[in-house]
Chains A and B, each alone.
Chain A
């Protein structure tokens, strides 16, 4: 497969691994956070931890869209489907995110709610066009990667005067989450970031410069293929060894400093900053999410259906918050692999294979397994 196989070359991986082993200082620890769930997935799926020396520790960050979605937001979506009788369109990953009372969109669907799994915002628009007598709500979630398609859908709906279409907006911002991680008092001991891949194709590499300049944390933007991740780790180790903190771009085949200007303009036209947004794991973070501008308020499901957001606290024993901040490993959570499994996720990190807990459970739990 062109443009994929080149980045999954096992022989090349060995070469980079040898370079990492040679250049990494065995007397110190390199704590590197991969922000994105896409990276977490790649690291687990390809078993990359086995190719790294003990001095390199990978910390799974909060960049998994469904992992940071708080219970109250899923409740809101479920209520729209069950109480308001709307057709709720959602990306597949969101179907299994646990809501209140062990409920999920999947279970709501089994109970008769009209919940439809879609691949594209265009599918949601089509459903709205095909069902003029029904209200159709798109459960818009994700980081900057999925925001432009939502913006396009809203603009299209406005242009077509598609009055039965609206969105439940939960789009969140990557740099804000990175600030939230770094700004914690006492801090998280991190030596550098493997920067987002797809998000950066949209926002560019410039927004990360503040982390290098103000927090002295090196950032290497990397693609989601295994060789991308390996190369980014090598680049981070070199920066750290040289005492530098800069934003470097390993993913030059897709990311520029400026990013996708057209997408940025569309997002800016449709959305504005929310004052505050609650993240699962990170808590309430100022200016970390988007809402529709007033011009498009007719497409805002929260306003249209007076769907109030009610915050719900996480399961007491769930350590998702500490895991999403890189403070704990999944296996340090008491309910990991017992009460909380991919079949019955309690915390959001167990839902998507991009989540730190699900990735470790599904791909890595043979490590350190005891009887």
Chain B
């Protein structure tokens, strides 16, 4: 066989030919994706992955990742794209089984960065025990992308007897949160170009299916699980309230927020309730099970700061209200537009 010069992962850049379907693309797949992701399904080398039968109902979820900057304290777009989709599958009460990954690469993107991202994805997938079994790569001309966009799709299986859904919250239920909010959003924002602001905040990006499995195994009556990503805790709770046709009453003092995040939000005029998380979940369960669920969560390393933050109310308006630390009451509304810093 003739010699092919290997890809230059030190100084090379993405060229249009890497997405053309020709030899260059095959080389990128062989030397990068197949090699780093390395599993028997991918090694089949077909247009799709042939997967074994599973026992139970299937869950499927997809998520696109367009984060800027691509690398941030505590993670990067690679591990984020794995964690994000695993979590979406896990929030359905499912055991995540397989992932697919589709890349849109911008011409000129450094191969070294792509390598770093792919290695990060592979590591995240391996740690989670969820292989990336199929994928796709496209290249767009320079200026038509933002370096790299990654879409991942996940498939999981739900065992019998488990049904979680955003429309199952009932008046009287308790609302639990697995830990401090706002870490991911503020980690990314504080490093974003144009912000001369550097706070020691680390993204909480993590795969939560282990925590979810522990919660499900405890046998408590779980009704809703959701990860408060974009739009933060406030948006997630409003979504659930709307879906279930209920209201909620939160206790501000019970909601954990790291001091660094609180300070950064204060500085930028943002509200941590609306800042994204990538490694936290909200759980709604029957009131009588709340104390037990809290105990189970706190015993898990990913939820040591878990807290009961409020309860579900009967309210046809679907208002999510909060008793503030000052003792007053206010609405925690949907995010209007994007969260913009205030002037004063």
Partner of B340 from the list A95, A118, A364 (CB cut-off 8 Å) is: A95
Q: Report the bound CA distance from A118 to B268 in whole Å.
A: 11
CA distance A141 to B344 in the complex (A): 11
Q: Specify which of A36, A96, A145, A369 is in contact with B317 (CB 8 Å cutoff).
A: A369
Q: Indicate if the CB atoms of A369 and B319 lie closer than 8 Å.
A: yes
Q: Indicate if B219 sits at the interface (CB-CB under 8 A).
A: no
In the complex, the answer to whether B342 meets A226 with C-beta atoms within 8 Å is no
**A142–B326 touching, CB < 8 Å:** no
> For residue B7, which residues in chain A have a CB less than 8 angstroms away from its CB?
none
B152 within 8 A of A: no
Which of chain B's residues 80-130 have a Cβ closer than 8 Å to chain A? none
- Nearest A residue (CB) for B319: A366
Interface residues of B in 238-286 (CB under 8 A from A): 253, 259, 262-263, 266, 268
Q: A1-B259, A1-B263, A1-B266 are in contact. Are A46 and B343 (CB under 8 A)?
A: no
* Contact partners of A343 in chain B: CB under 8 A: 336-337
Chain A positions within 8 Å of B268 at CB level: 119
Looking at the assembled complex, report how far the CB atom of A149 sits from the nearest CB atom of chain B, in whole angstroms.
11
The residue from B253, B321, B333, B344 contacting A145, defined by CB atoms under 8 A apart: B344
CB-CB under 8 A from A17, the residues of chain B are 327
Task: Tell me which of B327, B333, B340 contacts A93 (CB under 8 A).
Answer: B340
Least CB distance, A354 to chain B, in whole angstroms: 6
**A48-56, A176-184, A272-280: which lies at the B interface?**
A48-56
B266 contacts A50, CB within 8 Å?
no
Q: Which of A10, A37, A118, A342 contacts B326 (CB 8 A)?
A: A10
Most chain A beta-carbon neighbours within 10 Å: one of B263, B330, B331: B330
Contact size class for B?
A: 20 to 34
Task: Check B343–A47 contact: CB distance below 8 A.
Answer: no
Q: Would you call B324 an interface residue if the criterion is a C-beta within 8 Å of the partner chain's C-beta atoms?
A: yes
In chain A, residues 332-370, which have Cβ atoms closer than 8 Å to a Cβ of chain B?
A: 341-343, 352-354, 358, 361-366, 369
Number of A-B contacts (CB under 8 A): 113
| Interface residue from B326, B340, B342 paired with A13 (Cβ < 8 Å) | B326
Instruction: Tell me whether A159 is interfacial, beta carbon within 8 Å.
Output: no
* Given A45-B324, A65-B344, A93-B340; A362-B333 close (CB under 8 Å): yes
B319 cross-chain contacts in A, Cβ below 8 A: 365-366, 369
Considering the chains assembled together, what is the distance between the CA atoms of A354 and B316 in angstroms? Answer: 28
Q: Which residues of A contact B341 (CB under 8 A)?
A: 91-93, 119
B247 nearest CB neighbor, chain A only: A366
* Interface membership of A66, Cβ < 8 A: yes
| Complex CA distance for A41 and B323, rounded to whole angstroms | 16
Q: Which residue of B lies closest to A41 (CB)?
A: B342
Q: Assess the A371–B325 pair: CB atoms within 8 A.
A: no
Nearest to B327 among chain A residues (CB) is A10
Query: Any chain A CB within 8 A of the CB of B143?
Result: no
Near B by CB (< 8 A), chain A positions 74-125 give 91-93, 95-96, 106, 117-120, 123
Contacts of B316 in A (CB 8 A): 371
What 0/1 readout, one digit per residue, does chain B (127-158) give for beta carbons within 8 Å of chain A?
Answer: 00000000000000000000000000000000
CB pair B327–A51 under 8 Å, yes or no, is yes
- Check: A38 CB closer than 8 A to any chain B CB: yes
B181 to chain A, nearest CB (A): 16
User: A119 and B195: CB pair below 8 A?
Assistant: yes
Q: Contact string, A242-265, partner B, CB cutoff 8 A, digits 1/0?
A: 000000000000000000000000
Tell me if B194 counts as interface (CB < 8 A to partner A): yes
A38 & B344 in contact (Cβ 8 Å cutoff): yes
Q: Give CA–CA (A1, B341) in the complex, Å.
A: 20
Cβ of A205 < 8 Å from any Cβ of B?
no
Report whether A366 and B324 are in contact in the complex, using a CB–CB cutoff of 8 Å.
no
Query: In the bound complex, do residue B331 and residue A364 qualify as a contact, i.e. CB atoms below 8 Å apart?
Result: yes
What are 23 A-B interface contacts by the 8 Å CB criterion? Answer: A10-B327, A14-B327, A37-B344, A44-B330, A46-B330, A47-B327, A47-B329, A49-B328, A65-B343, A66-B343, A92-B341, A95-B340, A123-B194, A146-B343, A226-B326, A352-B343, A354-B342, A363-B333, A364-B330, A365-B331, A366-B319, A366-B321, A366-B329
Given contacts A46-B330, A92-B343, 19 further A-B contacts (CB under 8 A): A4-B263, A10-B327, A36-B344, A46-B326, A47-B327, A47-B328, A49-B328, A51-B328, A96-B337, A226-B326, A341-B336, A358-B336, A362-B333, A362-B336, A363-B331, A363-B333, A364-B331, A365-B319, A366-B321
By a beta-carbon cutoff of 8 Å, the part of chain A in contact with chain B is 1, 4, 8, 10, 13-14, 17, 36-38, 41, 44-51, 65-66, 91-93, 95-96, 106, 117-120, 123, 141-143, 145-146, 198, 224, 226, 341-343, 352-354, 358, 361-366, 369, 371
Which A-B residue pairs are the 6 nearest by beta carbons? A47-B328, A342-B336, A50-B328, A92-B340, A363-B330, A47-B330
